[in-house]
Each structure stands twice: as C-alpha cells, then as structure tokens.
Amino acid sequence: MATDPNKQKLFAEGVKLHELGIQGDKNAVKKAYDIFKKIHETDPQDLVSEAYLGSVTSLLGRDSIDPNRKLKLALQGLKILDKVILKDPQNIETRSIRAYVNFNLPEMFFHRTASAIEDFNTLISLYEHNDNILTKEFYCQVLYDLGVAYKRLGKKEQTQGVWTKLSQVTKDPKIIERLKQEKL
C-alpha cells in the first residue's frame, strides 16, 4: 500500500468497519464498501484493498433481504477475491480474507469450502516456511479451521491429521478444549 497518509487513514477506517461488518453491523458493511470502492477506484493496483472490497461486497450480499441480490452480491464478491488471488497468490492478507469469506459461506449453496481449504493450506505452507509472516495464534486458528473445512466435506482422515498436528503445536487451552469436544 502507498504511503499516502490520507489513503492509510481511509484504509484503516475501512478495515475497522469491515471487522464490525463481519460481526453483523450492516451499516458498517455499507460504509466499508464505500471506502474500499473509493480506494479501488483511485488505486486499482492495491490488491489488499481490492480483496477487502470483495469481502464487503459478499457481506452486502449476506445482509440483503432480496434472495436474488443476496446471491448476486456474494458471487460478485467472490469473483473479485478470486481475481485478486490470481494476481498475487502468495499474499498472506488477501489469502486470509478469501479463506474466511469462503469458509463462512454455506457450502450447500456456494460450494466454496474446497477453495477455503486451498487458501488455508497455502497460509499454513507459507507459515511453515517462514514463521514470521503470521502469528502462531493465527496459524493455530487456521489449522483448526482447516480441520473444520475438511470435516464439512466429510474428509475424516484429513480432519484427523490436521487436528492431530494442531494438538502437537499448541498449548492454548481454548483450542485444546475445542479439539476435545471434536473427540480428538
């Protein structure tokens, strides 16, 4: 991202609103959409902002009452995210954004869990080659969610393998408890 202080401030505000939107604040989603649309229009090369635009576009779909608009916006957001990943497949932030958009979509309608698995595996691989690129806490969360994604697709061996690996790398009592609840 450029060093323009106005853009940085706008970007930071958009990220805060995006997080509020993920938590269910519909007004924050609309504001974040406006911010990331503006950033993208002024700097179409900023892939991180474009990924956030894709995410908030999907969130607009989540929040829509009209089923047709809901689907249209969700697919539009996914298309933006897929385009960003094609341009820079190793970008941690954009991979993380797309991973969790895909992970949170209902598999029955969107069939994007496999894409979330691809993103989670990429993030894990990048971390395992350079453990400075993610926090260990986020790495463990990604491992846990990868197991959930495999489980969602009925892939028991992969689920077990990922969660066994997770149990070996974490001492976090919350994660250990969640793994126990999953009967690991």
Considering the domain architecture, whether residues 4 and 78 belong to the same structural domain is answered as yes
Is the residue at 97 inside a domain?
no
Both tokens assigned to 121: 């595996």
Residue 173 lies in a domain: yes
Confidence of residue 184 (pLDDT cuts 50, 70, 90): low
CA 3 – CA 150 distance, rounded (Å): 40
Written as six digits, the tokens of 87 are: 């341009």
Residue 134 φ/ψ, nearest 5 degrees:
-135, 160
**Residue ranges making up the domain that contains 65:** 1-88
Asked if residues 113 and 90 have their Cβ atoms less than 8 Å apart, the reply is: no
Q: Do 3 and 80 belong to one domain?
A: yes
| Per-residue pLDDT reduced to its tens digit, 21-66 | 999 999 999 999 999 999 999 999 999 999 999 999 999 999 999 9
Residues 3 and 84 in one domain: yes
Closest by alpha carbon to 78, among 93, 96, 56?
Answer: 56
- 13 and 60 in a single domain? The answer is yes
Non-local CB neighbours of 11 within 8 Å, separated by 6+ positions: 1, 35, 39, 49
Average pLDDT, the chain: 95
Residue-wise pLDDT tens digits, 98-136:
999 999 999 999 999 999 999 999 999 999 999 999 999
Do 144 and 80 share a structural domain? no
Q: Assess if residue 20 is contained within a domain.
A: yes
Same domain flag for 62 and 2? yes
Q: What is the pLDDT of residue 132?
A: 95
Is residue 147 in some structural domain? yes
